[in-house]
Amino acid sequence: MAAKKKNWLLYGANGYSGELIARKAVERGQKPILAGRSESKIRPLAEELGLPYRIFSLGNPKEVQAQILDCFLVLHCAGPFIETALPMAEVCIEAGVHYLDITGEISVYETLHSLSSKALAKKVMLLPGVGFDVVPTDCLAVMLKEKLPKAHSLELGFSGFTDISRGTLKSMLAQLPHGSRVRRNGKIETIPQLSLKKVVEISGKYAEFFAIPWGDVFTSFISTGIPNITVYSSLPEFQTKILKLLQPTALFLKNSLILKGMQKLVELTVRGPNEEKRKKGAALLWGEAWTEANSKKVSIRMRCSEAYEFTVESALAAVAKVEKGKFQAGFTTPGKVFGSKFVLEIPGTKILP
């Protein structure tokens, strides 16, 4: 059984979120094995933190398997996940090692879900989305389903993003030419970016929210079975302006050379929120569910810590639960495997009146 092994490996430890997770793990007395492709980036961090490290790329499955075989779990933090999740997950399944990651990309969830039967046969858990994508919204969806078991439609939303990391912005660029996504009658549909919006009140304040291709469009259906799902975000004004400016040229991002060039520019110029912004920031979330005839409706409002702070805490909390033997073989979601109250275990999270 994978959970009987003592080691866990953090792949992509030199990324923005990966490094934050590594540092917090050490603060708590944990000793993950740090890993990634670049020794010049991984080794200094590992030596500073007093942690073991391993250097390998994902191009050779046999090499990857040799590097993770003594681990019960891999926490995969190396993006873009659309390129890295599948090779890591496939090796995890073969090696009998649980796979967790912090992605929020629908296409990645779809790909990993297609591996579910293989993972089930090997008693391996595939648990993507253990960060802000999608722990709070997934748990919120399950809470709403528990309050209204016959719910037919679900809307989720969040606000509070300030700065974003390189990895997140690179993933956004890759998704941009493919539009936004919603689920209707059980099927995922594509709609134009910024084409669906609504005004929502949270704690006496009103904000404009736009439908976005957030992971819950896929995962909340797995978690709740609700067939109609839309996820909204109140984007910072500068992000909305950038998206509107990029829309006429978004199709050019389907060209891999142009996309790689834009992502390289992001790599050189974007740093992500500093510590002060992470500590002072907060995210507000809302969720609503209703029955088919709209005869019954339930809603929940929630507050949690800033998105990257939340990701650090929730990812480490997920690792701790798996280490204690809490897992479901095959593809699953945070709300399914850990329950709807998992989000309330993360520091800074509370249900609002």
Which domains does the chain carry? 2-131+309-337 (3.40.50.720), 135-307 (3.30.360.10)
| pTM of structure | 0.92
Note the pLDDT of residue 247. 67
pLDDT one digit per residue (tens) for the chain, 353 residues:
445 789 999 999 999 999 999 999 999 999 999 999 999 999 999 999 999 999 999 999 999 999 999 999 999 999 889 999 999 999 999 999 999 999 999 999 999 999 999 999 999 999 999 999 999 999 999 999 999 999 999 999 998 866 676 667 676 677 776 789 999 999 999 998 888 999 998 878 888 899 999 999 999 999 999 999 999 998 766 666 666 666 666 677 777 787 788 777 777 776 777 778 878 889 999 999 999 988 899 999 999 999 999 999 999 999 999 999 999 999 999 999 999 999 999 999 999 99
Note the pLDDT of residue 87. 99
What SS3 state is found at 87?
helix
Q: Is residue 151 a contact partner of residue 353, using CB atoms and an 8 Å limit?
A: no
Instruction: Give one word for 226, left, alpha or beta, with left for phi > 0 and alpha for psi -120 to 50.
Output: beta
Note the pLDDT of residue 166. 67
Residues whose CB is less than 8 angstroms from the CB of residue 210 and which lie 6 or more positions away in sequence, other chains included: 194, 196, 197, 232, 233, 234, 235, 240
Note the pLDDT of residue 1. 46
What SS3 state is found at 251?
helix
Q: What is the DSSP string of 98-116?
A: EEEE----HHHHHHHHTTH
Strands (E), the chain: 7-11, 33-36, 53-55, 71-76, 98-101, 125-127, 153-159, 180-184, 187-191, 197-202, 205-211, 228-234, 282-290, 297-305, 330-331, 350-352
- 91, 217, 242 from 179: Cα distances, Å: 31, 13, 15
End-to-end, the C-alpha distance of the chain in Å comes to: 43
Q: For the chain, how are helix, strand and coil distributed in percent, rounded to 5? A: 45, 25, 30
Note the pLDDT of residue 275. 79
Residue 306 identity: E
Note the pLDDT of residue 239. 65
Q: What is the DSSP string of 129-173?
A: --BTTBHHHHHHHHHHHHH-TT--EEEEEEE---S--HHHHHHHH
